[in-house]
Structures are given as C-alpha cells and as structure tokens.
Amino acid sequence: MTQRVALPFFGHDPLPWARPGLSIGGSGNNFTEWLNQNDSTAGEPKIAVAVDGADGLPLAIRAGMDTTNYCITGLMRPIGSPPWTITSAFAVFANHNGGGFGVPIFLYDGTKIHSLYWGVTTGVILGVKIGEWSSITPGSTGATLLGNDGAAFMINDYFAWFRVVNNGSTIRYLISPDGFQFEEIYSEGVNDFLGAVTHVGFGVDRLVNGAGAPVPLPVVNGILWGWIET
C-alpha cells in the first residue's frame, strides 16, 4: 500500500491518500488486471501503459485515443460481497480539447460495467454522469449516460473525490470537491443493471471527437491519487 501524508484541510484531519499498488497477474490488495489494455484502432500507445508512482505519487494510466471506437480502458481488482464503500481521488486530462473522459470508479460483473464518468468535450464541461456499459468490447456501443445533466462541480479542478456505496440492496454514487463533503448524484438497485459485482477499478474512455483531432492522435491520462475501500 502506497501512502502519502497530506496537510490538514480547513481544520480537518489530513486527507487519506492511501491507495493499492500495481501488480498485474498478482494477488492481494493491488490492481491486478487490465480491462481493454489494447485498442487496435487507437493512436499510440495502442497498448495502454501504467506507471505506479513511488513514495506517494499517483498510479497513472496513459492511453492513445480513438476517433472511431468507444473503448473503456482501466485497471481493476477483485472485490468481495457488499456492504462496501469505495472512495477515490482521481484526475483526468488529455492533450486535445476534443475529449478527455475519466472513469474514477467502475463496477464490473464480468460482462457489464457501471461507472462514474467525468470529463470535457470540445471545451464544454460534461460534468459527472453515470456510465452504463452493456458491452466492454472496443468498438461496441459506448456508455449510456445517466444522471442529472451536468451534475458536477461549478469549476473543474485538477482532481476531485468520488465515492460508490454498495449496501447490498442499493448502489449510491457521490462526488466531492474536497474529500469531506459528498453529495449523491445517482442511485439504483444493485441488480437493476449489474449482476454480482466481481471487480472494481478506474480508467479512461479512449474516444475522442474526431473533428479537428490532431495527427498523431492525442493521449488521455487517468491518474489515481487515492483509493480507500471500507
């Protein structure tokens, strides 16, 4: 477990920066598997790369973007039966204003994904929505976006805090600008869309708006600063 000690925030205790490490093919309390590491129609890197920063630095995913196909790419780890709560501190950026979609937390049942979905497109703040992925295969239909139109932060910061609470009957999705004050943006029954959740993770959507996309194609980065499971 990588740790970083942060300064107290507005009189509160330090923010919890702990997060799992990276151990592809391994086990234990780490991110152990890729989700769609390779997107054959994307720009470079077609095969996404991850860097596990030492001494409290973040765990970052870097992936080439795709003007043709939706593709959710991420790192994931097994999770047990609910109840559980996941809180992440996450950032996303791309070197082109035609896209930059982050997935701060996703839930995976082996076939489908439910996720928080955050980013901008053509310079417009999309905000935070809920992404329902009926298929995770690159090139399939992308996420159906649910939730309030533009529910998010008045000003997008470099990173924000996200939370998913699964109490065994309901899944709640919450957002926070500071890691203390969380507001719910969506909830649904545990089996309304997903089956039994077997894995959780974070990542990016590699689709970029093709109009005016530069050559070579841009890169999107998903950056995990903190991940707490309770």
Tell me the domain boundaries of the chain.
21-52+60-229
Query: What is the pLDDT of the chain when averaged over all its residues?
Result: 84
Q: Give the chain's length.
A: 230
Residue 208: other Cβ atoms inside 10 A: 28
Of 13 and 183, the structure prediction assigns the larger pLDDT to 183
How confident is the model at residue 3, as a pLDDT?
Answer: 44
Percent of the chain whose predicted confidence (pLDDT) is above 90:
51
Q: Which of the following CATH numbers is that of domain 21-52+60-229: 3.50.50.60, 2.60.120.10, 2.60.120.200, 2.60.120.1030?
A: 2.60.120.200
8 Å CB contact between 77 and 33: yes
Per-residue model confidence as pLDDT tens digits over 130-161: 999 998 888 777 788 887 666 666 556 678 89
Q: Which among 226, 164, 200, 229 has a CA at the least distance from the CA of 18? A: 226
Dump the DSSP string for 113-133: EEEEEEEEETTEEEEEEEEEE
Reply yes or no on whether the pLDDT at 211 is more than 60: no
Residues with Cβ within 8 Å of residue 44, at least 6 apart in sequence: 64, 216, 217, 219
8 Å CB contact between 35 and 73: yes
Q: What global pTM score does this model have?
A: 0.89
